[in-house]
Amino acid sequence: MSDQLQDLLKRVYDEGVAKANAEAESILSEAKSKAEEIINKATLEAENSLKIAAKESADLKKNTDSDLQMAANHSLSALKQKAIELILDKAISEKLNNTFNDIEFMQKLIIETLSAWKANAGTGNIVISESMKPQLDEFFIKSLKDIFKGELNVDFSPLMKQGFQISPADGSYRLSFTDEDFANLFKSYLRPRSKEILFGN
């Protein structure tokens, strides 16, 4: 009887062990399958993330290169423009300064301009740079007023560096003959040619 019980216990034990082993094997197999699935999924996600990162990096590089090129072109263009302005300032300003400091020339220019003005507009105002005041005697100012039979208002402005401006009595518009006006006029004609000479087309 004891032997039979021993056999029965051994069989139950063996079956339990076999069943536990089978279940453990199944759990391990399932865990291994899930682990492979997780690894595959993580690998795929990592590859996708790397592709996205590589594309974003390439886009960023492209955009950065484009921005740098644009900034370089803008800086070069600004530098060229500045060089042209400096050269024109030197060439034009010096000559204009000499011309506007020639009091005889300026007197003739004022008289001829006002004579032409009177023929077309009649009465008016003239504002002359205050820097010219010491060189324009009372006789000259009187002769200007005589041209207009006393109907010319003559003022001097400290705000005007060199030259003069004329306007009708109602002040509806103004014609300006200052050094800056002439400088801007000459520069507008000389700037394209200067650019071509200095930098080509």
**Predicted confidence band at 131 (pLDDT cuts at 50, 70, 90)?**
confident
Task: Taking residues 103-131, report their average pLDDT.
Answer: 81
CATH superfamily of 101-199: ATP synthase, E subunit, C-terminal (3.30.2320.30)
Quickly tell me which residue has 């996708």 as its tokens.
48
Q: Does residue 198 contact residue 83 with C-beta atoms inside 8 Å? A: yes
**Predicted confidence band at 14 (pLDDT cuts at 50, 70, 90)?**
low
**Predicted confidence band at 133 (pLDDT cuts at 50, 70, 90)?**
confident
Looking at residue 122, its pLDDT comes to: 65
Looking at residue 12, its pLDDT comes to: 65
Q: What residues does each domain of the chain span?
A: 1-92, 101-199
CB-count burial class (<10 Å; 0-12, 13-18, 19+) for 75: exposed
